[in-house]
């Protein structure tokens, strides 16, 4: 079965829906939609009617791109009110030889959360840390080994159901099933993870339009996360205030003139724009970049402080991603703020190379990882639909008079 997954990132600024196929551990983009959010604040539904309209438009556009409607989706929610804690359980390995299978791992994981989740909370991730064989050996992947007793130690993440219910109801209203839910940091890490990050302690920062999320990962396990209410909108507010202009003009200036650092800014590069008082204002690249760099420095300083509050352990890596990192010269300001090397987490998918899609693409990788952990198969399309999607039933009519017919006749006759 082809592993085709749809990921929905619900943001305050935009709703992003990506459909991709996992093949050889890579995501092949099949459809990508980005719409302005309505009825959504901080990733939560505040106006169900408006939010439903946006979701319906997003799924309709993606379905048109694919030629088939999307009936299942994996959703990310912000990590507000996220609670995580350690869980542990043991199971007996059946069979005469007691050979451990993926089914045994799944049984142990299920046992570890039995009666651990209160009725008002919902599981958003369960990450195994290690397994113990016969109360002796710690193993990361014991499949194929033998033991009579298998113990798992894992980290469970939960969020309040009241945060999830409105989202599920809006999506269900348009005939789409929410097949899985996780939090943004888990999706981000799923996209950005490497063998090196899976062995170290580090921070992943996502600077979005409204919020900035700072998360700590210990050997691939999300141990802490905090959402700061500051982001790309604050750049717009600063530009609006300084030049007395509207937000649309501020957005245009930010995208087309502003740099994230004054190092390469040119005072000679200038635009003339009318402010709210209908007066002409001259705005040069150096001055507006200085305004934005000051705000970016504030955000990055807050992130540094938050990292220190979330963990006292030594950080080995810092990855910063999200839409704001698309600012030209962002990396210059980033590296000037952190004592150690920090890097920009880039979205490298062909056709959609923009870091604002990191969470949506990460949802696809997250679901693929869940398939491997739980030993399951998953796709938004059935086998019959996949055949239709692949074009197996679409045949070209080749006759002797067609161009292809004449071409085939030329080769076979000569």
351-400 pLDDT, tens digit per residue, is 789 999 999 999 999 999 888 877 777 788 877 777 766 654 344 444 44
Domain membership of residue 272 as a residue range: 232-295
Q: Quick check: is 399 in a domain? A: yes
Model pLDDT for residues 159-215, shown as the tens digit of each residue = 999 989 999 999 999 999 999 999 999 999 999 999 999 999 999 999 999 999 999
Last residue of a domain, one of 160, 175, 193: 160
Q: Quick check: is 196 in a domain? A: no
Last residue of a domain, one of 160, 186, 213: 160
- Residue 387 makes CB contacts below 8 A (sequence gap 6+) with 393
Candidate ranges 305-319, 330-344, 369-383; pick with highest mean pLDDT: 305-319
Model pLDDT for residues 204-222, shown as the tens digit of each residue = 999 999 999 999 999 999 9
Q: How confident is the model at residue 406 (pLDDT cuts 50, 70, 90)?
A: very low
- Residue 41 makes CB contacts below 8 A (sequence gap 6+) with 12
Q: Quick check: is 302 in a domain? A: no
The predicted pLDDT at position 390 comes to: 62
pTM of the model: 0.89
Q: Quick check: is 249 in a domain? A: yes
The predicted pLDDT at position 377 comes to: 77
Note whether 323 and 207 are within 8 A (CB): yes
The predicted pLDDT at position 378 comes to: 78
Q: Quick check: is 45 in a domain? A: no
Average pLDDT score, the chain: 91
Which among 321, 355, 328 has a CA at the least distance from the CA of 254?
328
Q: Quick check: is 400 in a domain? A: yes
Number of domains in the chain: 3
Last residue of a domain, one of 295, 324, 345: 295
Extract the runs of DSSP E, i.e. beta strands, from 51-172: 72-77, 83-92, 121-133, 137-139, 149-160
Q: Quick check: is 98 in a domain? A: yes
Q: Quick check: is 357 in a domain? A: no
Q: Which long-range contacts (CB under 8 A, 24 or more apart) does 229-235 make?
A: 229/42, 230/298, 230/299, 230/302, 231/207, 231/299, 231/322, 231/324, 232/13, 232/207, 232/208, 232/323, 232/324, 233/13, 233/209, 234/295, 234/299, 235/291, 235/292, 235/295, 235/296, 235/324
């Amino acid at each position: 079965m082809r592993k085709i997954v749809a990921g929905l990132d619900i943001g305050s600024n935009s709703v992003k829906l990506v459909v991709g196929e996992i093949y050889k551990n890579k995501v092949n983009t099949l459809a990508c939609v980005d719409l302005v959010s309505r009825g959504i604040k901080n990733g939560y539904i505040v106006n169900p009617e408006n939010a439903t309209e946006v979701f319906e438009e997003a799924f309709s556009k993606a379905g048109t791109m694919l030629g088939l409607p999307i009936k299942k989706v994996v959703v990310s929610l912000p990590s507000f009110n996220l609670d995580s804690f350690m869980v542990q359980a043991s199971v007996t390995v059946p069979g005469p030889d007691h050979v451990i299978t993926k089914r045994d791992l799944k049984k142990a994981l299920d046992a570890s959360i039995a009666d651990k989740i209160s009725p008002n909370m919902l599981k958003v991730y369960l990450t195994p840390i290690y397994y113990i064989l016969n109360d002796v050996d710690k193993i990361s992947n014991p499949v194929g080994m033998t033991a009579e007793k298998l113990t798992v130690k894992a980290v469970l993440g939960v969020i309040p159901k009241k945060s999830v219910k409105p989202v599920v109801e809006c999506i269900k209203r348009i005939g789409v099933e929410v097949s899985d839910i996780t939090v943004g940091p888990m999706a981000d890490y799923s996209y950005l993870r490497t063998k090196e990050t899976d062995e170290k302690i580090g921070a992943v920062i996502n600077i979005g339009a409204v919020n900035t999320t700072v998360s700590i990962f210990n050997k691939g396990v999300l141990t802490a996360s905090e959402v700061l209410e500051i982001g790309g909108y604050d750049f717009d507010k600063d530009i609006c205030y300084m030049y007395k202009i509207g937000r649309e003009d501020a957005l245009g200036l930010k995208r087309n003139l502003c740099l994230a650092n004054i190092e390469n800014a040119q005072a000679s590069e200038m635009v003339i724009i009318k402010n709210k008082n209908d007066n002409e204002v001259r705005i040069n690249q150096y001055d507006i970049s200085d305004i934005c760099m000051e705000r970016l420095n504030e955000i990055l300083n807050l992130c540094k402080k938050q990292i220190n509050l979330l963990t006292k352990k030594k950080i080995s890596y810092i990855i910063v991603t999200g839409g704001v990192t698309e600012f030209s010269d962002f990396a210059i300001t980033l590296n000037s703020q952190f004592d150690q090397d920090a890097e920009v987490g880039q979205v490298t998918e062909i056709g959609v190379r923009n870091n604002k899609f990191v969470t949506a693409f990460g949802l696809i990788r997250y679901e693929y990882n869940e398939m491997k952990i739980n030993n399951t198969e998953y796709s938004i399309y059935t086998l019959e639909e996949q055949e239709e999607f692949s074009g197996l039933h679409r045949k070209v009519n080749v006759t002797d008079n067609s161009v292809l017919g004449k071409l085939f006749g030329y080769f076979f006759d000569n």
